[in-house]
Chain A
Amino acid sequence: MTLSEPGTDELHYPLPAPDPLDPPKEWAELRDRCPVATVTLPSGDHAQLLTRYDDVKQVLSDPRFPRVGGGQGARISDSGGVFDSDMASALPQSGPAHQQWRRLVMRWFTAKRMAALRPRIEAMADSLIDEMLAHGQPADLKAALGFPLPVWVICTMLGVPDSDRDRFSYWSDTLLNLTRYGRDEIVAAQTEFLGYMQAHVQAKRAQPGDDLLSELTTEPTADGTLLTDAQLVGTGQGLLVAGHETTANMISKMVAMLLADRRRWEQLLADPSLVRTAVEESLRFDANPGIGMPRYIAEDVALGSAALPAGTTVMCSMGAANRDARAFDGAEEMDLTRSPNPHLSFGSGPHSCLGQALARTELQVTLEVLLRRLPGLDLAVPVEELQRVEGLAVGGLRELPVRW
């Protein structure tokens, strides 16, 4: 593919990637020669793809530019999926109402809360690894650890019983998927999930427990109102959708990147104090983070690379931005000691990931526990045989076969 004549070659998005852990070849070329590129989305609609660090950061952190949805801006795909569904519309997406909701929920995600939650997450990771060891090697680390851990954690926060965790995983998978499931399957899963959550919220109102939803039933927002049932349901759904597959996939991708060049793993074994910076670098270096964040440009804006007129839909590629040599020294090298590491994997500004302290804690704990329990961990297949999950708003690997 050549980008030399913009406009003549249609660039279909998402871009195909050559190898499981390597970025699409186009990223570097786009950053250098076409930092605002017209792409065709799966729906057939068009968007402008941003790939430079400064541009992506500026758009993501500008509170005037909401996520697309609700009929505003381009559609991502025809088959639904989280960006197009009205599932999240019970939650305010922008403006003061969004800030109020966010501040209410934020208290559950402070660094202190996360420190308190850490031992529980560690115990979950240990018990999942016990089970993986009991089944013998090789094992699929994604199915054994990466996928269940974050849903266990979210279920705990929402006060959902352990026995319903598997259903939660399935719902979460269908809600996020842009192409793997058909429209009917997605709608059926959404309906089922909605029904479950409504009943769950009512149960929490009747009999509050020690969880986020129970507390929210009685906690007023800054202007003194209580969240409605629909907003509570939306909060639970939103946290599951935003926090499950993202973290699940990141666990597998992180471990895959660290094992793909085993000197990285050995560096961590030799100095486990690098776990924190290694997690940040894995987030930065992730070549398959999903399609990026779409934004609707509501007012004319001047970016470093170009001016965008009001009415444009942009797709912010945080993955491409994270490898921009204008922002990171040795951007194409994975450096486990990199610091500071202002990557954009959690977005930036007022909408940036609300669960990032939790995600960081889960990734750090997973890595610590793996280093402690399975120092001999290695890939059970050559790196080239790892397979990407296609069609997810969140990118990942299909499986992560490991031995130890």
Chain B
Amino acid sequence: MKVTVDEDRCCGAGQCVMLAPDVFDQREDDGIVVLLEAEPDAAHHTAVREAADVCPAAAITVHEDS
């Protein structure tokens, strides 16, 4: 699994960090998403998919087959 984030779309809702804190973080100064793991371990896949599905800004893209 490969993950990308679009900082320009991110509205800082923090859903991704609440769901998968090992994969996503937020910048200290404005809450915008920081991708910690572009290729997360299988253990995180479910949480990452959920984060992508519920991100209110559709700022997270998951590429399953790579």
Contact = CB atoms under 8 A, between A and B. Distances in A.
Interface stretch (A13-21, A159-167, A343-351): A343-351
A3 to B, nearest CB: 31
A111 B57 contact: no
Contact of B50 (A107, A339, A351): A339
Nearest to B13: A356
Contact of A112 (B17, B32, B49): B17
Contact of A107 (B17, B28, B49, B58): B28
Nearest to B56: A352
Interface string B1-26: 00000000001111101100100011
B62 to A, nearest CB: 12
B54 interface: yes
Contacts of A107: 28-31
Given A111-B17, A360-B18, A352 B50 contact: no
A144 to B, nearest CB: 28
A157 interface: no
A106 B17 CA distance: 14
Contacts of B32: 103, 106
A342 interface: yes
B56 A110 contact: no
Interface in B31-48: 31-32
A364 to B, nearest CB: 10
Contacts of A7: none
Contacts of A353: 13
A341 interface: yes
Contact of B14 (A61, A109, A340, A341): A109
Interface residues of B, number: 22
A103 B30 contact: yes
Contact of A350 (B11, B49, B50): B11
Nearest to A277: B50
Chief secondary structure at chain A's binding surface: helix
Interface string A41-58: 000000000000000000
Pick the most buried of B14, B15, B54, B58: most chain A CB atoms within 10 A of its CB. B14
Contact of B13 (A61, A112, A339, A357): A357
A114 B58 CA distance: 22
Contacts of A346: 13, 56
Contacts of A340: 49-50, 53-54
Contacts of B50: 339-340
A110 B17 contact: yes
B57 A352 contact: yes
Given A103-B31, A349-B57, A111 B11 contact: no
B54 to A, nearest CB: 5
Nearest to B26: A110
A93 B9 CA distance: 17
Contact of A341 (B18, B26, B49, B54): B54
A103 B53 contact: no
A104 interface: yes
Interface string A338-376: 011110001111111110110010000000000000000
A102 interface: yes
A112 B12 CA distance: 12
B49 A103 contact: no
Contacts of A347: 56
Contacts of B26: 110-112
Contacts of A352: 11, 13, 56-57
Contacts of B53: 340, 342
15 contacts: A103-B30, A106-B30, A109-B12, A110-B14, A111-B18, A111-B21, A114-B18, A339-B50, A340-B49, A340-B54, A341-B54, A346-B13, A349-B58, A352-B11, A352-B13
**8 closest residue pairs by CB, A with B:** A106-B31, A111-B17, A340-B53, A111-B14, A103-B30, A357-B14, A352-B56, A106-B12
Given A106-B30, A342-B54, A352-B13, 16 more contacts: A106-B12, A110-B26, A111-B17, A111-B21, A111-B26, A114-B14, A340-B49, A340-B50, A346-B56, A352-B57, A353-B13, A354-B11, A356-B15, A356-B56, A357-B18, A360-B18
